[in-house]
Amino acid sequence: MAFDQALRLTSILLAAVSFVGLTLGSGLPAWLALVTGGGLIIALVRQVATGASAHPARQIWFTPAGWNFLVVIGFLGFWVDMFLVSGELLPAGIHFLMILMVIKLFNLTQRRDYLHLYAISLVAILASGSLTTDLWYLPVFLLYLVAGVWTLILFQITKAPEGPSASPTGAPLGRVTPQLFWLANGLALACFVMTVAIFFLIPRLSTGFYQKGFGDNIRTSGFSETVNLGAIGPIKRDPSVVMRVELARQAPHVLDRLYVRGLAFDQYDGKSWTNRLGHRRNLNEESPGTFLVRGHQGTADARLGDVIQQNILLEPLDTAVLFAAPFVERLSGKFPAVHSDATGSVYLPFPSASRIEYSVVSRSQPVLPVDLGSAPPQYGESFAGHFLQVPDLSQRISGLSEDLTRSRPSSYEKALAIQEFLTRNYRYSLDAPLAGLDRPLEEFLFHRKTGYCEHYATAMVIMLRTVGIPARLVTGFLATEWNEYGNYYVVRQQDAHAWVEVHLPHSGWIVMDPTPPSSEPARSEHPAWLALGRIIDSAKLQWSRFFVQYSAADQIAVVQELKAGGKSVGYKAFDSMTSIFGPLTRLLGVMPDQIFRGSNRSQMAMLGVIVTVGILLLWLGRKKAMSGIRLTRKSTGEEQIIVGLYKQMVTRLADRGISKTPSTTPMELVHIAGMQWAESNSAVASITELYCRARFGGMVLTDEELQRAKDRLRQLTALEKP
Amino acid sequence: MPLHTPFFRRRSFRYRSTRVTSEGLQFLIFTLAIGIAAINTGNNLFYLPLAMMLSLILISGIVAEYCLRRLEFHRHLPDFIVANQPATATLVVKNRKSSLPSFSLAVFDASDGRDLDRGATVHHLPADASRLVSYPFLARRRGKLHFEGVRVATEFPFGLFMKKAFYAVEGTVVVGPEITPLNENILQGLVSAGQEQSLHRRGQGTDLYNLRVYHAGDDSRSIHWPTTARTSQLMVRETEAEEQRRATIRLSTIAPLSHDAVFEQAVSLSASLVQHLVHQGYLIRLIVGASRSIFGHGEPHLYDLLRMLALCERRAPNGKIDGNEGLEADHAEADGGTEIVVQSWSGPSELQPNRLTVLINGQPISGGFYGV
């Protein structure tokens, strides 16, 4: 491809990449996306179809004045957009930018037009960076980088020299060679590596606790002061990721499920739950950024429970609740303040508009042996008012509870009996619309006998309270999706869950869950797709952690580590690299298993891919080897050619009886040849001079000089003939 | 540069320089703007394009340095050129790098501390390959034109900066005085002097000497048929012997500083005379100040004389030597042929200051000495 044609192509691609970035960032209305996309496609098709010989200017429908008029119209449209339509500068500016891009795409005649297009595309990629923090920005940015490097190289190569050396025609200088192709891609790779290095090294001066929000927060339910029974149901089909939970110490196989606690509710009015203990108070900071959650959840020795250290990356939600495994002891994060209520729920002062990351130390509450045999004690009035409150219910529920627990002496055993009853005799279904009924709990327990977590948890709490056991309903998430590539739980909206916390006299609050496993069929996606989904999710996490949320605090931490000693930094760097490339290596690790466990078809497909890649590598290697051989020949080629010609000349002279002894110098041979065979003198002298220059003078012979030597040898050969 | 400057600094100062191009300036402004935006917003997705632009700047410097490294230059200059007449120089550029090519090389001649753009460019120089670059150049003044080296520049890869490197490739070419057409007065003077110098005698030549009656043994090819027909007897044509004409050109080198321009005109006129007379077949001798040549003819002799004129220098009068005396002393020299004296200064009692004086066989030639 000719340089100027390649320049036009890469310039259009550069614009296209920035347009894709803006479109994915939801920065464009549909009509403008269609217009710009159409313009790009037309420009690209024209470029590919017309070839290098046809100048695009020939196909332009407007004169320069017409284009200028369009720009003025677009500018007026920008003001109208800003004041009447969008009402903001950024969207109106982006819309105007796209209009300019379309105009420039059809008006690429002079070099400054190209520069304008590059400036527009740069602003567009910046705008897309301000509109999103999603992972797709990374491939778009990489494509932009590659297209940018190509474009700049071609723009430089096609630049006509200034001054007296300027080409009168300004004609293109050549074509894109394989060497230039690899060089440009190599430079793009080097640029990427250097970009990453510089990105991490640039000092971050802005230390804002919260970044600017991007778009709307994820709407969720079940995490407000009052929750209607059945509120969780609608979000149980939403696969949006709400958080990712890394466990610091537990091996993943130890915890096959993780309860991520949100809010606890004490008051049930027959249709909805309310948290009357929601009064929030500020938590004290143990150290900067680390908040200590006071108030023990029970009387048990805290050291008996298992410690769960979590690192949580929470997506922007429409609630201020900070989720964590029960029961939170300590919380660390870049927050100005953290609140807590009497039920142990933890909150931010207000919902975060951006993704946040925090670490939590939780401790589970074990059931102490002393609680296994003791009867329910008498609770204080205040405590009982909150956790033994029951609404006006039918006697059937009390009767059922009494029947189930009559033979059980202790609170814990009673609770187990109710849990077992619900788990065994009821069926899980999301298609259980109980919200509109007068007595949904009775309907669930005695008629439909199907429901989902809220119904089970509500039923168990009320049944426990009717037999005098304090209990409360807890909403949160039940994490079961383990991402083995990133070593974390993926928590989605559909993992929203409700369960029960039962108070035991000595153990305190313990977690119980009466919801049976879902009988609905699981997702029937191919394992490979599921694995791919987990890899992408892991990449999203790393992207967010290492790029989007990289901050001055991280840089300070690195510097402190460097001060502390090189080894730990090395290990941390190794860990970081492992975490970045971990998904890929793990995928490679599990691939053989997947292949050999899979069907013949998948095995054949994998074999085909391997063979194809092998052939491609061989072909590339062969090309490189061949080019290497060619280069080697070329490197000594000029000297070898003249030495060969000189040897042939010596042979011709020897045929005529003029032999060269080892002690004869080249110039002496010229002299001897001139004496004995005068006609040969000019040819011999000429070849010898070139030979000496190349062989001993280290001079570089040009192609013309080599051709002259060949001509002289031919003359000498012709002289030989009688 | 002070002597205490470290060697590597002196070296890098001399051999490398970088200039921002207009596109590079716009790029830097954009980079600055993005940097401000990134710092202002704290958005890491602004830091990413900022890092990209900074890396492009860094890579520009590194790649340009590799493009300019390990190049080898061999310059081929003509032995002799004439002032204000274009000549051609060739430059062999070789890339001594084993694997990396060089791109977009612009080659400048470094002379008198200046970079002279000859328009010589090498767009692509593969690793271990060489290119021959020819370019015209024009010397404005006679004398020795010295080239200190070659300055090679590249804007590769991104056109943001122009990086230059210096390679010491010394070369010298002798520049002869400017050759100009002679005016009519000088040509007439030369013709007159040439006629006086002609010797009429029979011999081998082309001009007619005599017609006589044919004698036995005469070459039949010399029969002059028109006269034979008119006189009715065989007549043969005798030719005049060709005797080569001689000329001595004397150029006075004594002139004060105020006459420098006139002296250069005198040198140029002498060169023009030398070339004219050599082409007319004269045996020429040139006397420039104290140095003199032998009589000779043909192109090699012409170049010898032009080289003398190229390198001659004006001498300021010191009071002891009178330029006229020196010239008159040589004037009496026998067998010098036509004597042409070119003077740029006639002495302290000069009647027409800043005017050339030309004497042919002692007769002054009037008027301007340059034709159109």
Identify the three-state secondary structure at position A37: helix
| A 538-567 → B contacts, CB under 8 A | 547-550
* Mean pLDDT lowest among A3-17, A163-177, A557-571, B108-122: A163-177
Residues of A in contact with B158 (CB under 8 A): 149, 152-153, 155-156
Q: Is A32 on the interface with B (CB under 8 A)?
A: no
Q: How many CB pairs lie under 8 A apart between chains A and B? A: 154
| B 85-104 → A contacts, CB under 8 A | 92, 94, 98-99, 101, 103-104
Within 8 A by CB and 6+ apart from A648, the residues are: A713
- Mean pLDDT of the region B309-330: 67
Q: For residue A633, what pLDDT is reported?
A: 43
Question: Does residue A545 contact residue A582 with C-beta atoms inside 8 Å?
Answer: no
Residues of A in contact with B54 (CB under 8 A): 195, 198, 202
Question: Does residue A121 contact residue A40 with C-beta atoms inside 8 Å?
Answer: no
What's the mean per-residue pLDDT of chain B? Answer: 83
Q: For residue A18, what pLDDT is reported?
A: 94
In three-state form (DSSP H/G/I as H, E/B as E, the rest C), the secondary structure along A99-161 is: HHHHHHHCCCCCHHHHHHHHHHHHHHHHHHHHHCCCCCHHHHHHHHHHHHHHHHHHHHHCCCC
**Is the pLDDT higher at A375 or at A627?**
A375
Q: For residue A470, what pLDDT is reported?
A: 92
Residue B9 in tokens: 């600094």
> Using 50, 70 and 90 to split pLDDT, how confident is the model at A227?
confident
Q: Is B157 on the interface with A (CB under 8 A)?
A: yes
Identify the three-state secondary structure at position A82: helix
**Residue B47's closest CA among A143, A205, A202, A557?**
A202
Q: For residue A44, what pLDDT is reported?
A: 86
- Closest residue in A to B137 (Cα) is A164
Give the bridge partners for B82, in sequence order: B176
What is d(CA A442, CA A449) in angstroms, rounded to the nearest whole number? 10
Q: For residue A573, what pLDDT is reported?
A: 61
- Mean pLDDT of the region A359-365: 88
Q: For residue A359, what pLDDT is reported?
A: 92
Q: Is B42 on the interface with A (CB under 8 A)?
A: yes
- Closest residue in A to B116 (Cα) is A164
| B 232-261 → A contacts, CB under 8 A | none
Report, in angstroms and rounded to the nearest whole number, the Rg of chain B calculated over CA atoms.
33
* Contact criterion met (CB < 8 Å) for A153 and B157: yes
Task: Write out the E strands in B257-348.
Answer: 283-288, 291-292, 338-343
What is d(CA B164, CA B156) in angstroms, rounded to the nearest whole number? 11
Among partner residues A129, A156, A635, which is closest to B128 by beta-carbon distance?
A635
Residues of B in contact with A149 (CB under 8 A): 56, 157-158
What is d(CA A293, CA A312) in angstroms, rounded to the nearest whole number? 17
**Residue A558's closest CA among A248, A211, A204, A244?**
A204
Residues of B in contact with A115 (CB under 8 A): 23, 26
Residue B122 in tokens: 């090498």
**Is the pLDDT higher at A354 or at A24?**
A24
Q: For residue A101, what pLDDT is reported?
A: 92
Residues of B in contact with A156 (CB under 8 A): 104, 155-159
What is d(CA A58, CA A155) in angstroms, rounded to the nearest whole number? 21
Q: Of A180-189, A661-670, B193-202, B209-218, which has the strongest mean pLDDT?
A: A180-189
In A384-420, which positions are buried (b, 16+ CB within 10 angstroms) versus exposed (e)? eebbbbeeebeeebbebbeebbeebebbbebbbbbbe
DSSP strand pairing (A450-451 vs A427-428): parallel
Identify the three-state secondary structure at position A665: coil
Q: For residue B323, what pLDDT is reported?
A: 46
| A 160-199 → B contacts, CB under 8 A | 161, 163-166, 173-174, 177, 179-180, 183, 187, 190-191, 194-199
Question: Model confidence over A689-704: pLDDT tens digits?
Answer: 888 888 777 677 888 8
Question: Model confidence over B64-109: pLDDT tens digits?
Answer: 999 999 999 999 999 899 999 999 999 999 999 988 889 999 999 8
Within 8 A by CB and 6+ apart from A44, the residues are: A9, A12, A13, A16
Q: What is the ipTM of this complex?
A: 0.73
Question: Does residue A658 contact residue A676 with C-beta atoms inside 8 Å?
Answer: yes
Q: Is B138 on the interface with A (CB under 8 A)?
A: no
Q: Is B126 on the interface with A (CB under 8 A)?
A: yes
Among partner residues A122, A152, A549, which is closest to B30 by beta-carbon distance?
A122
Q: Is A700 on the interface with B (CB under 8 A)?
A: yes
What's the mean per-residue pLDDT of chain A? Answer: 80
Interface test with A, best of B26, B31, B34, B55 (most A CBs within 10 A): B55
Question: Does residue B115 contact residue B151 with C-beta atoms inside 8 Å?
Answer: yes
> In which element (H, E) is residue B42 found?
none
- Mean pLDDT of the region A629-640: 56
Type of residue found at B323: G
Q: Is B195 on the interface with A (CB under 8 A)?
A: no
**Residue B55's closest CA among B39, B31, B36, B29?**
B31
> What string of DSSP letters covers B132-200?
EEEEEE---SSEEEEE-EEEEEE-TTTSSEEEEEEE---EEEEEEPPP-PBPHHHHHHHHHHHHHH---
Nearest chain A Cα distance for residue B351, angstroms: 46
| B 55-74 → A contacts, CB under 8 A | 55-56, 58-59, 63, 72, 74
**Residue B93's closest CA among B142, B126, B56?**
B126
> Using 50, 70 and 90 to split pLDDT, how confident is the model at A622?
low
Neighbours of A422 (CB within 10 A): 25
Q: For residue B2, what pLDDT is reported?
A: 42
What is d(CA A194, CA A184) in angstroms, rounded to the nearest whole number? 15
Nearest chain B Cα distance for residue A4, angstroms: 15
Cis peptide before B263 (omega within 30 of 0): no
* Contact criterion met (CB < 8 Å) for B51 and A137: no
Q: Is A302 on the interface with B (CB under 8 A)?
A: no
* Mean pLDDT lowest among A98-107, A296-305, A519-528, A544-553: A296-305
DSSP summary character for residue A662: T
Residues of A in contact with B97 (CB under 8 A): none
Q: For residue A418, what pLDDT is reported?
A: 92
Interface test with B, best of A138, A177, A202 (most B CBs within 10 A): A202
> What string of DSSP letters covers B63-121?
HHHHHHTTEEEEEE--SEEETTS-EEEEEEEEE--SS--EEEEEEEEEETTEEEEEEEE
Q: For residue B194, what pLDDT is reported?
A: 67
Nearest chain B Cα distance for residue A621, angstroms: 16
Question: Model confidence over A472-512: pLDDT tens digits?
Answer: 999 999 998 888 888 889 898 888 899 999 998 888 899 99
Question: Model confidence over A190-218: pLDDT tens digits?
Answer: 999 999 999 999 888 754 444 444 455 66
| Main-chain phi, psi angles of B63, to 5 degrees | -65, -40
Interface test with B, best of A120, A128, A135, A194 (most B CBs within 10 A): A194
CA pseudo-torsion sign A589, A495, A540, A347: negative
Question: Model confidence over B250-297: pLDDT tens digits?
Answer: 998 988 888 888 899 999 999 999 999 988 888 899 999 888 899 888
Q: Is A234 on the interface with B (CB under 8 A)?
A: no
Within 8 A by CB and 6+ apart from A709, the residues are: A641, A642, A645, A686, A687, A690, A691
> Using 50, 70 and 90 to split pLDDT, how confident is the model at A166?
very low
Question: Does residue B39 contact residue B135 with C-beta atoms inside 8 Å?
Answer: no
Q: For residue A261, what pLDDT is reported?
A: 92
**Residue A79's closest CA among A99, A64, A62?**
A99
What is d(CA A116, CA A104) in angstroms, rounded to the nearest whole number? 8
Residue A647 in tokens: 């040897």
Give the CA angle between residues A522, A528, A532 to the nearest 5°: 100
Question: Model confidence over A243-252: pLDDT tens digits?
Answer: 989 887 655 5
Residue showing tokens 């709990």 = A441
> What string of DSSP letters covers A240-255?
-EEEEEEESSS-TTT-
pLDDT exceeds 80 at position A51 = no
Q: For residue A574, what pLDDT is reported?
A: 62
Question: Does residue A326 contact residue A344 with C-beta atoms inside 8 Å?
Answer: yes
**Is the pLDDT higher at A646 or at A553?**
A646
